[in-house]
Structure 1
């Protein structure tokens, strides 16, 4: 008599639903692609850039006769900051220009001015003989004014009047408005990018340029190479 064999026991196979699999893949992908905590501070080579020293930033602001709180920045498509334009406006204000490759310019100025001077309807703010703007209207939190040649957006913020201006020929209203809306007080990293570098300390040698010859009048070496 053939002995009775017990049927083999099969372990149940665990199945993963499509939804569960998608969630698992999303979770694993998220773990691999999360940016580092200080991704904004990463330099071109991926190394972290140390935060600028606040005392140094304040000294660099004083060197251009302003204070860090009065340094504002903005952005506009096709325009970049012209660093050589950075300087003081009035007593302790701040001014800079943003230029485009075709030479167009947007001017940014920040001044400690009397209340309501940003309101272009106040004709007392204009010097004697100067005509008030042909267009003067409220646009959100700002005032838009325009003459035949130029136009500007102005607003008050914490005792300051922030103005973004340009010529009507070089900058259209939409671009100027975008720059005005984007204007904001510079943070420490933006201060480091905008303010001129600190002057060398007394007795400290200036940074040496690699294109200066060791002898002669120190003019850059502009010899033409073999290719022409």
Structure 2
């Protein structure tokens, strides 16, 4: 009887382990973060700090490699739909966001419109004019995913925000090479 119980224990734990592995995969943590020396070198080439380099993954969207780089002390990358009709931007810079500061911070290039803010889990969902974004704080770094509200729906931006993570070696290579449209 005791031997049967010992044999059943691993079988009972298997669904828990598989669920944890699936959750890691869904959250984009399939591989370890890229080698720090490689990440530092790539960031230097872009003219930014390596702590700002992030990627995301959303079904139906691929990295537009020519968009990768630095803009106003932020890391930027664009992702476009496989049909090329829609896109969203990933912007990563230093900063924080609070309930008080959220509506005061401009949303992308939309600076003349009032910004509305809604707390959504650990992130902020923001709208201004025809643009919307998810802003996700991560230890002094602000990850923002922004798009035209008429072309990319909120669910896509939310998925991109949830999947934002530091790149692994393969993702870093995709950021650096001319693999126009390669999946990250």
Query: Which TM bucket (shorter chain)?
Result: 0.5 to 0.7
Change beyond 3 A, Cα 1:121–1:54: closer
By how many angstroms is 1:120 displaced?
7.5
Q: Which residue of 1 aligns with 2:10?
A: none
What is the aligned length?
Answer: 145
RMSD between superposed Cα atoms in Å: 2.9
Give the whole-Å Cα distance in 2 for the aligned partners of 1:156 and 1:122: 12
- Structure with bigger helix share is 2
- 1:135-168 deviation line (CA, Å, top 9, x unaligned): 4211110010113311100021111110011001
Whether 2:70 is the aligned partner of 1:71: answer no
- 1:74-104 deviation line (CA, Å, top 9, x unaligned): 111211000000011322x210000011320
- 1:23-53 deviation line (CA, Å, top 9, x unaligned): 9xxxxxxxxxxxxxxxxxxxxxxxxxxxx86
Whether 2:99 is the aligned partner of 1:137: answer no
By how many angstroms is 1:123 displaced?
3.9
Give the whole-Å Cα distance in 2 for the aligned partners of 1:74 and 1:94: 13
Change beyond 3 A, Cα 1:68–1:192: farther
Structure with the bigger RCO (C-alpha within 8 Å, sep 6+) is: 2
Could you tell me which of 142, 153, 167 is aligned with 1:186? 167
Change beyond 3 A, Cα 1:57–1:136: closer
Q: Which residue of 2 aligns with 1:107?
A: 89
- The answer to whether the Cα contact below 8 Å between 1:120 and 1:136 also exists between their aligned partners in 2 is no
Structure 1 outlier segments of 4+, above 3 Å: 52-57, 119-124
Give the whole-Å Cα distance in 2 for the aligned partners of 1:109 and 1:120: 21
Point out the structure with max Rg over C-alpha.
1
Give the whole-Å Cα distance in 2 for the aligned partners of 1:123 and 1:53: 37
By how many angstroms is 1:185 displaced?
1.5
Q: Which residue of 2 aligns with 1:95?
A: 76
By how many angstroms is 1:70 displaced?
1.4
Could you tell me which of 125, 137, 143 is aligned with 2:105? 125
Q: Which residue of 2 aligns with 1:45?
A: none
Give the whole-Å Cα distance in 2 for the aligned partners of 1:122 and 1:69: 22
Q: Which residue of 2 aligns with 1:170?
A: 151
Q: Which residue of 1 aligns with 2:68?
A: 86
Give the whole-Å Cα distance in 1 for the aligned partners of 2:41 and 2:177: 10
- Structure with bigger strand share is 2
